[in-house]
Structure 1
């Protein structure tokens, strides 16, 4: 048990107690004195272990009335003992009028820091509402402080509404509980913006005075930022955003960034901002302790003020990208933007804003229709197609809207959750592939032409992309052991990227075929007789750039597979002990999510072992040499991709140099390491010159 000064009366059952005595009588003995005597040698927090007092009993003892575990117990060992807003006002700790500018700055910056802490997944009770002024937002007589407190309430309400509409948060991202606080004061958004503008204009008049204090300009910047932030969020959370409103957002965002720069320059003017300075009395960490549930509370670390301002600056920059999503017209463009945005590690608010602005438009029937036209040019999507073919195509587009919307929504979740959701999305794509084959057959029958796999090619392409994302996410989340890398890269090399290249090639052929047919029909209409299309007038292949990048990634996969296989054969990678190793079980577990897909067929473990044995017959030096050729070819292909592929090109070149050394007979003294600094998915195999010896 724990020696806890707050619980002096402990009762226990007599040592002579037994199950038989319970049937007749219960002999309770007062042990308070003997207990106190027994534990006097224990320090606070120490436990006494006994064979009848195990881990379960220890946890129960720690939970009872421990301030770290029992949220209902007030820890009264602190220096301050503030229990309510009224008590703090009575004690003179909370001035309500004529606040010094430094105090007001400290309140605003401290509250914004707690707002950022809430947005990073902590509870409102332990972050924003530790500010006592927010418990009575109408109480302050200082106008700027009152309007700021009311604006915080409105901001919390607007952010909650935006996050609930987007629905891309998990329990670790965001805690929606309000703990009894009413977040919707009887003030509309427009009235709140007007109140902030009035205070802003009053402060601006004061700031124009040459003799005004720099704190006045600093307060003006913060109030203006609050007003702009509220306006931007109001625009982004609307269901029917207009292009004009998002253009206005771009202008507002630039003003917000300027205000944040002023805030950053003046953050040290506020009370409690300097390093080692005591926190202001208006922030009481334990004020809401009794509101928390009786479970182990999460440790809440409040953001530093300068870090909070940096967080808001990054958010405003990301909002600029969000506004660009309004202009996207096809599903493929939207997918690329959402994927790139997700890889940049955005905050929850900006992820949610992007979902509201672009998700519905990007997965709409018209966006999918345009994407399919640009991808493989199905005849059934033409306005001149007969009604039966158009009807079959429209039925497929309606069915594709759900997995398309889920794919866009998936990129709004945090990176750790995306992999789990990709596994579920693959089941949707399996059903979509079957629907695509039926749609292709129905369109061919209606048009009276041989079946062409337009819809099936598009569905297969996105299925393969989802599979690649699923496997690569395992590297990003550090799910794989180093001895597992080689069959992950083998699967990417042999199955995923090979199929993707073939699928893009087929889409190119279908698109050229559709264009040639359209050109021939147009020529026949003009001249009265059918003419062959001019070969020189052929459209450029729109998927050529993607195909080159996929060929580079395929070469990277082959290079890693052979390099890692050689390292394993040389004993340079730590492998599990044979008695505990079941590689087949691990292999099937890693690729279990792919077994339900009709295409591509899931690769069996025996296929992998055959490929590994065939490659291993060459010997380690030959494996290293072959892997080096793969990396060299990948580097050449990536170099043509421009500056966007520079990091992967450097990785390929570094690995090529290393493998040439290994192929020449050099061997490291220590086991190699894998550095994922350049790329999250394709590491640099690290061995320095000083670690190599020649046999």
Structure 2
């Protein structure tokens, strides 16, 4: 850069619009010579935000152009690569075609994991001109990739459970919908598949040809399955064919897994194929910091498809869901397995619209607490009040199922917002109960309010437990999280299920009067039949076990804190009340259950610890022992938690006897994401 002729001149002396440059290298070097390595100079006009937002030119870590343009090979377009003989269009060798297919599938998986199309799939130069290849298998594969991208994009848009970190929908000017229908595309893949199958039947066929046949068959099956799953108006038993197709997909995926090393460029020491140009779409990217894109390994991409196929089998079985409560349990269990975006979006389309219909909600509430207003022989005004509540409950119910399709971090944020909807629903439920009781001429009973309160409490429990999965809580915070679960959430849940059982018993025994509109206004006599079993008894027992676990952790962690065996913040920086109110701020707007105050927690902690640490450890051990007994009756499903309770019980008995560890304990969440094993070995204990 040329220095200014008159450096003392002001900017106003130069013509408007003329760029004036000054060499500042020497001035900058002189200014920073007194700074030590790692020191920063702060200015009012250039603070930390501006420093982090600045781009250091020519630095590979900051300048995207430098990062993408490194290497000996220059960026070549499709036409230039064909002219240079780098992209064969006909008579491709089997290992080359196999490498192109596997490399493209790896980039497809990278796109599904949140990277952009421009930096993943469309770095394949063949996809820039899908009709150009003269090799039939390659041309059909390129067109099938376009169709597959379009079908996946449509499925994800309909499900609406992706976030910006999950999926980037931008197409960067590429037309994803070629003028070929889905059925025609499947037919073209089947034709290539049959042609390859004839070669495979020849015993002299190369192993690479068999591998290409398996991949073309998988693409065809995958396209058929996704095209069926993305339909919102699923007919009964319409997914039976998908089960058969997914079984076939599992077989060919095993062949793909065994032959992944045959393709060109599959090994780590091999150079990538010339058809994959990572910087070809660099000019299409927005003028922001590009996300670093690391293409998934080919073997890992096939493993991703295997996991996706197994989860799609579960999705197909969800079509028979008719109950809202069944849908909640299935969606929650499916979300716990950390499914990929495609599979959890497919589950939303298959089961969400079925489980949240008016009939499904009506049946769910009837099975939960049997409101008399939902029976067929009631007055019109009672039916109208019940229908109004069902209409208002549809949106929170839909949101409750939809949020399980989001990633685990987003679910916690959405649960906080959903609690506000449940707060409004509780008020609507109380009004509906009063209106139904008035229309029926019977004493008011909290049928709808009990159902709304139950799902509110479940949402609160999920919100708190999600913090353990996301590792949001420090060790010194966990004891008041478990206290809240022990004293408030699980206690209220058990009470709510007990009330629901009582309401069901009343409905079965006919102890509530009939509507006043019946003939003669007579009241039915209560049935003297034997008391039926409690429908919610099993759930109540499991909740009692969770309550005992939470109580055990509360008292065990309180004792460890008193013994200074857990790291606690320095007294000058400790504001426990602020942290407590922050953790439970999402519950403050709920009328039921009322939000617990910090003073209530301190009173409970002081009462529990008034007898000393040994007594705390002894009481915590009793909680774990009781939880283990309750969980043992649950069978193999609750076996991991039962082992956790037993292990913690043994440890706390040792601590109660006076043993103390030489090092601070650790918490292992391998058995459960929410209830850890307190880890100490026998050699780490000493007796005082």
Q: TM-score, normalised by structure 2?
A: 0.93
For residues 86 and 660 of structure 1, do their structure 2 counterparts lie closer, same or farther at Cα, with a shift above 3 Å needed?
same
For residues 506 and 125 of structure 1, do their structure 2 counterparts lie closer, same or farther at Cα, with a shift above 3 Å needed?
same
Please say if 1:398 is aligned against 2:396. Answer: no
Counting only pairs closer than 5 Å after superposition, residues 204-243 of structure 1 correspond to structure 2 as 204-243=197-236
1:610 is aligned, of 581, 591, 603, to 603
- Paired with 1:61 and 1:519, the residues of 2 have a C-alpha distance of 73
For residues 67 and 576 of structure 1, do their structure 2 counterparts lie closer, same or farther at Cα, with a shift above 3 Å needed?
closer
For residues 17 and 188 of structure 1, do their structure 2 counterparts lie closer, same or farther at Cα, with a shift above 3 Å needed?
farther
Task: State the partner residue of 1:688.
Answer: 681
1:447 is aligned, of 429, 440, 451, to 440
Query: Does the aligned pair in 2 maintain the 1:556–1:634 contact within 8 Å?
Result: yes
- Paired with 2:414 and 2:556, the residues of 1 have a C-alpha distance of 31
CA-based RMSD of the aligned residues comes to 2.8
For residues 12 and 192 of structure 1, do their structure 2 counterparts lie closer, same or farther at Cα, with a shift above 3 Å needed?
farther
Query: Does the aligned pair in 2 maintain the 1:72–1:291 contact within 8 Å?
Result: no
Long gaps (5+) in structure 2: none
Task: State the partner residue of 1:133.
Answer: 126
Please say if 1:311 is aligned against 2:304. Answer: yes
2:189 is aligned, of 180, 196, 202, to 196
For residues 12 and 415 of structure 1, do their structure 2 counterparts lie closer, same or farther at Cα, with a shift above 3 Å needed?
farther
- For residue 667 of structure 1, give the secondary structure of its aligned residue in structure 2: strand
Please say if 1:416 is aligned against 2:409. Answer: yes
Instruction: Using the TM superposition, give the Cα deviation of residue 377 of structure 1 relative to its aligned residue in structure 2, in angstroms.
Output: 0.6
Instruction: Using the TM superposition, give the Cα deviation of residue 32 of structure 1 relative to its aligned residue in structure 2, in angstroms.
Output: 6.4
Query: Does the aligned pair in 2 maintain the 1:74–1:289 contact within 8 Å?
Result: no
Deviation string for 1:605-635 (max 9, x for gaps)? Answer: 0100110111111111011000000000000
Please say if 1:92 is aligned against 2:92. Answer: no
Query: Does the aligned pair in 2 maintain the 1:548–1:637 contact within 8 Å?
Result: yes
Task: State the partner residue of 2:375.
Answer: 382
- Paired with 2:679 and 2:582, the residues of 1 have a C-alpha distance of 29
2:338 is aligned, of 321, 342, 345, to 345
Query: Does the aligned pair in 1 maintain the 2:510–2:525 contact within 8 Å?
Result: no
For residues 630 and 284 of structure 1, do their structure 2 counterparts lie closer, same or farther at Cα, with a shift above 3 Å needed?
same
Instruction: Using the TM superposition, give the Cα deviation of residue 64 of structure 1 relative to its aligned residue in structure 2, in angstroms.
Output: 3.9
- For residue 227 of structure 2, give the secondary structure of its aligned residue in structure 1: helix
- For residue 693 of structure 1, give the secondary structure of its aligned residue in structure 2: strand
1:564 is aligned, of 539, 557, 565, to 557
Counting only pairs closer than 5 Å after superposition, residues 450-469 of structure 1 correspond to structure 2 as 450-469=443-462
For residues 562 and 61 of structure 1, do their structure 2 counterparts lie closer, same or farther at Cα, with a shift above 3 Å needed?
closer
Query: Does the aligned pair in 2 maintain the 1:109–1:270 contact within 8 Å?
Result: yes
Deviation string for 1:579-613 (max 9, x for gaps)? Answer: 11111111111111001101001100010011011
Counting only pairs closer than 5 Å after superposition, residues 313-332 of structure 1 correspond to structure 2 as 313-332=306-325
- Paired with 2:639 and 2:418, the residues of 1 have a C-alpha distance of 31
- Paired with 2:375 and 2:428, the residues of 1 have a C-alpha distance of 20
Over 3 Å off, 4+ runs: 10-18, 21-39, 46-77, 518-521, 528-536
- Paired with 1:178 and 1:566, the residues of 2 have a C-alpha distance of 57
Please say if 1:533 is aligned against 2:527. Answer: yes
For residues 150 and 617 of structure 1, do their structure 2 counterparts lie closer, same or farther at Cα, with a shift above 3 Å needed?
same
For residues 519 and 259 of structure 1, do their structure 2 counterparts lie closer, same or farther at Cα, with a shift above 3 Å needed?
farther
- For residue 177 of structure 1, give the secondary structure of its aligned residue in structure 2: coil
2:490 is aligned, of 493, 497, 522, to 497
Deviation string for 1:366-389 (max 9, x for gaps)? Answer: 100010011001111111122111
For residues 619 and 59 of structure 1, do their structure 2 counterparts lie closer, same or farther at Cα, with a shift above 3 Å needed?
closer
- Paired with 2:648 and 2:537, the residues of 1 have a C-alpha distance of 26
Instruction: Using the TM superposition, give the Cα deviation of residue 76 of structure 1 relative to its aligned residue in structure 2, in angstroms.
Output: 4.1
For residues 366 and 15 of structure 1, do their structure 2 counterparts lie closer, same or farther at Cα, with a shift above 3 Å needed?
farther
Relative to structure 2, which stretch is displaced further, 67-76 or 237-246? 67-76
- Paired with 1:51 and 1:346, the residues of 2 have a C-alpha distance of 45
Instruction: Using the TM superposition, give the Cα deviation of residue 687 of structure 1 relative to its aligned residue in structure 2, in angstroms.
Output: 1.3
Long gaps (5+) in structure 1: 1-9
Please say if 1:432 is aligned against 2:414. Answer: no
- For residue 593 of structure 1, give the secondary structure of its aligned residue in structure 2: helix
For residues 159 and 671 of structure 1, do their structure 2 counterparts lie closer, same or farther at Cα, with a shift above 3 Å needed?
same
Instruction: Using the TM superposition, give the Cα deviation of residue 15 of structure 1 relative to its aligned residue in structure 2, in angstroms.
Output: 10
Counting only pairs closer than 5 Å after superposition, residues 46-85 of structure 1 correspond to structure 2 as 62-64=55-57, 66=59, 68-71=61-64, 75-85=68-78
- For residue 483 of structure 1, give the secondary structure of its aligned residue in structure 2: coil
Task: State the partner residue of 1:363.
Answer: 356
- For residue 397 of structure 1, give the secondary structure of its aligned residue in structure 2: helix
Deviation string for 1:93-146 (max 9, x for gaps)? Answer: 100000011111100011000000000000111110111100100000000000
- For residue 273 of structure 1, give the secondary structure of its aligned residue in structure 2: coil
Task: State the partner residue of 1:670.
Answer: 663
Instruction: Using the TM superposition, give the Cα deviation of residue 674 of structure 1 relative to its aligned residue in structure 2, in angstroms.
Output: 1.1
Task: State the partner residue of 1:285.
Answer: 278
Instruction: Using the TM superposition, give the Cα deviation of residue 530 of structure 1 relative to its aligned residue in structure 2, in angstroms.
Output: 6.6
Q: How many residues align?
A: 674
Instruction: Using the TM superposition, give the Cα deviation of residue 244 of structure 1 relative to its aligned residue in structure 2, in angstroms.
Output: 3.1
- Paired with 2:160 and 2:552, the residues of 1 have a C-alpha distance of 40
- Paired with 2:40 and 2:571, the residues of 1 have a C-alpha distance of 39
- For residue 124 of structure 1, give the secondary structure of its aligned residue in structure 2: coil
Query: Does the aligned pair in 2 maintain the 1:72–1:292 contact within 8 Å?
Result: no
Task: State the partner residue of 1:7.
Answer: none
Relative to structure 2, which stretch is displaced further, 231-240 or 382-391? 382-391
- For residue 509 of structure 1, give the secondary structure of its aligned residue in structure 2: helix
Deviation string for 1:144-169 (max 9, x for gaps)? Answer: 00000000000000000000111100
Query: Does the aligned pair in 2 maintain the 1:638–1:646 contact within 8 Å?
Result: yes
Query: Does the aligned pair in 2 maintain the 1:71–1:292 contact within 8 Å?
Result: no
Please say if 1:510 is aligned against 2:503. Answer: yes
Instruction: Using the TM superposition, give the Cα deviation of residue 243 of structure 1 relative to its aligned residue in structure 2, in angstroms.
Output: 2.6
For residues 462 and 219 of structure 1, do their structure 2 counterparts lie closer, same or farther at Cα, with a shift above 3 Å needed?
same
Counting only pairs closer than 5 Å after superposition, residues 500-649 of structure 1 correspond to structure 2 as 500-517=493-510, 533-536=527-530, 538-649=531-642
- Paired with 1:349 and 1:576, the residues of 2 have a C-alpha distance of 43
- For residue 244 of structure 1, give the secondary structure of its aligned residue in structure 2: coil
- Paired with 1:167 and 1:676, the residues of 2 have a C-alpha distance of 31
- For residue 284 of structure 1, give the secondary structure of its aligned residue in structure 2: coil
